[in-house]
Structures are given as C-alpha cells and as structure tokens.
Amino acid sequence: MASIAPETVMPAPPEWRIAPAQVPYAQALATMEARNAAVQAGTARELIWLLEHPPVYTAGTSADPAELIDPRFEVVETGRGGRYTYHGPGQRVGYLVLDLARRGKDVRCFVHAIEGWVIAALARFGVESWRAEGRVGIWTRDIDGAEAKIGAIGVRVRRWVTMHGFSVNLDPDLAHFGGIVPCGIAEYGVTSLARLGLRVSAEEWDAALAATAADFLDALAASANRACR
C-alpha cells in the first residue's frame, strides 16, 4: 500500500493590531516581550502590530555611542540588532511577533521577506524602492537624486520567536534624525513619502501593508523550504 504523506499544518494567521494613539516606546517593548513569551508558550497567536511612537532614539546591540550626536529625546536600549534609529510621529512602525520555528528557521530570509513586503507596499504609491547590498533597510531616490533611506529594519529573535520589525517614514520631522547617525550610515540621508511629494495617511499605509501581507507570509513559507524570495 502506498504511504500517505502527513498533512502540512500551516500556522493560523497572525493577529493584526492597529494602535489608535501613540504608544510610548518602553510600553511597546514590554508588550512585545510579553507576547513573545506567550507565543513561545503556545498561549497566544502571532502578532502584527502597527503604531507610532512619541519621539525617541533607540539603540540596537551594535550602537556606537559616538553616533549619538544630540540626545534631545529619550534614548532606549532595545536588544534588537542594529545601531541607533529614531521613531516619532509621522513614522509608521510595524512590530512582528512571529514564530519562525513554524515559518522557517532562517533569520536572513525573515529580514529579506520584510524588505520585500515594504518594497511592495511602497510600490502601491508609485514609489520605487530597493534593497542595498551591505545596508539593511529600504532605499529610494530622494528629491535631489541621491539615494536615501525611507525605511529601517531591526529584529530580534528569541527561541525562534521574533520581536521588533520595521519603520517607514510617511511624514516625520526629518530634522529629528539629526540627533543620531541613523543606523550608523553617515554617507546617505533619510527621506519620507511627504518629502517625495506624497501625502499618505497612516490608514492608507496600513491598508497597503494589509494588501501585500499575504505575499510576505508566503515568502516566509518559502523560506521554510530554504528558498528566500
């Protein structure tokens, strides 16, 4: 008798949560850590959480104190990878608490999939963006023709459950990035959709992410088969 392959059980869709008001960074970090532990324990669903923060500088595990030029806002050590970054009003943050043990144990593919998701969402507004070799994040052409960062990525993985995620500049005060060397890259500037002449609301951006989320989750499924895309 021919053997029957066991049925593949896919994870349930993550919970989507959209914060109606700004969330202080320390509060968001505590929420993520609790959800991370609950997902590990199997007592909570995975989470995709979209929000904004009051102005804050965050330090990743590779942060160089010399790159904190003007600490005009609160500085929080995060435990995520990367260096210094800024969060504030007008910047949309996406936090991902996902179980990579069920979605492919490959952190490189996870970051690659996040980049692809943000690139696809930006394309819905006519913005061409890309990955850059050796520079984590999302890049586009600024109004002066120079390459500039429009989205940042920083993740942490604890027992194969992720934390942190990505941020995209809709219309933040770009002068606030002047207090740090963003992500340790001094040679390139930071831009936003508003600087590029596009007024995109948080609701419109969230809808673009939702419309492209299936491809993001499919990319994670592909990584489970050792095929980043």
Average pLDDT, the chain: 91
Contacts of 218 (CB under 8 A, 6+ apart): none
CB 136 within 8 A of CB 107: no
Neighbouring-strand partners of residue 85: 58
pLDDT band at 6 (very low <50, low <70, confident <90, very high): very low
Confidence check: pLDDT of 3 > 50: no
Confidence check: pLDDT of 1 > 70: no
Residue of 183, 196, 217, 220 with catalytic role? 183
Residue type, 176: H
Once rounded to an integer, what is the mean pLDDT over residues 4-15?
Answer: 62
Once rounded to an integer, what is the mean pLDDT over residues 44-52?
Answer: 98
Instruction: Give the pLDDT score at 52.
Output: 98
Instruction: Give the pLDDT score at 212.
Output: 97
Confidence check: pLDDT of 5 > 80: no
Q: How far is CA 164 from the centre of its chain?
A: 7
Instruction: Give the pLDDT score at 188.
Output: 87
Element (H, E) at 17: strand 15-18
Which segments of the chain does DSSP mark as H helices, in order? Answer: 25-41, 100-103, 107-123, 202-224
Instruction: Give the pLDDT score at 208.
Output: 98
Question: What's the pLDDT tens digit per position in 100-153?
Answer: 999 989 999 999 999 999 999 999 999 999 999 888 889 999 999 999 999 999
Note if 183 is an active site residue.
Answer: yes
* Pairing verdict, β 75-77 and 56-59: parallel
